[in-house]
């Protein structure tokens, strides 16, 4: 079984998130998502609208996602790849090159980001709507 892993916050889930999850899943037979905890989000200087439990609940309902684990540090990726027998590590290409150290342990693939949508764009657009 070819196992794939990807990491992220996945807040205010949108079609860009679904697209990378779908493409990541299609690279193997099983997709694990390491979901940033609320504590790790503050380390990433990110404030998510949905808390970890609810973001996990949402992700687990997606047909492309087989397993969700917590991401609570920058340094857990090698351990995760080993412990979960991961064959392929996938991230959007805004991270291109950042995780090449994993090439000693698994395939590393950066997929093109979906243009035109992001959690911050959703927040900005809603704010502009409110302000008229
Ligand atoms: N993404 C995408 N297209 C978008 C928005 C996001 O392909 N329009 C991808 C990102 O490239 C990332 C994934 O969706 O691979 C999750 O995005 P975020 O939740 O913003 O994750 P991020 O904050 O980048 O966290 O250790 C890695 C970090 O946890 C990644």
Give 129 Cα–ligand 1 centroid separation in angstroms.
25
In angstroms and rounded to an integer, the radius of gyration of the C-alpha atoms of the chain is 15
pLDDT at 110: 98
Report the residue among 12, 14, 15, 17 best suited for mutation to probe ligand 1: largest number of ligand atoms under 8 A from its CB. 17
Q: What is the mean pLDDT of the chain?
A: 97
Q: Considering only CA atoms, which residue is closest to atom 2 of ligand 1?
A: 113
Judge whether 114 and 16 are in contact, CB under 8 Å.
Answer: yes
Please confirm, yes or no, whether 121 is among the known catalytic residues: no
pLDDT above 70 covers a percentage of the chain that reads 100
pLDDT at 132: 87
Query: What is the greatest pairwise CA distance in the chain?
Result: 52
Judge whether 16 and 127 are in contact, CB under 8 Å.
Answer: no
Burial of 106 (0-12, 13-18, 19+ CB in 10 A): buried
In angstroms, rounded to a whole number, what is the distance separating the alpha carbons of residues 100 and 96? 8
Q: Is the pLDDT of residue 12 over 90?
A: yes
Give mean pLDDT, residues 7-14. Answer: 98
Q: Is the pLDDT of residue 130 over 90?
A: yes
Specify the 3-state DSSP secondary structure of 107.
strand
Give mean pLDDT, residues 55-80. Answer: 98
Q: Closest Cα to residue 127, out of 58, 55, 49, 60? A: 49
Catalytic residue among 44, 79, 103, 121: 44
Domain architecture of the chain: domains with CATH: 3-128 (3.40.50.620)
């Amino acid at each position: 079984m070819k196992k794939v892993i990807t990491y992220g916050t996945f807040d205010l889930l949108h079609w860009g998130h679904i697209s990378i999850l779908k493409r990541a899943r299609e690279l193997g037979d099983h997709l694990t998502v390491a979901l940033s905890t609320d504590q790790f989000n503050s380390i990433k200087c990110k404030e998510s609208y949905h808390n970890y439990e609810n973001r996990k609940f949402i992700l687990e309902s997606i047909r492309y996602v087989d397993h969700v684990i917590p991401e609570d540090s920058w340094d857990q990726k090698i351990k995760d790849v080993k412990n979960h027998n991961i064959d392929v590590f996938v991230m959007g290409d805004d991270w291109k090159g950042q995780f090449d150290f994993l090439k000693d342990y698994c395939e590393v693939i950066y997929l093109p980001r979906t243009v035109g949508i992001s959690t911050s764009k959703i927040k900005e657009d809603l704010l502009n709507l409110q302000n008229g």
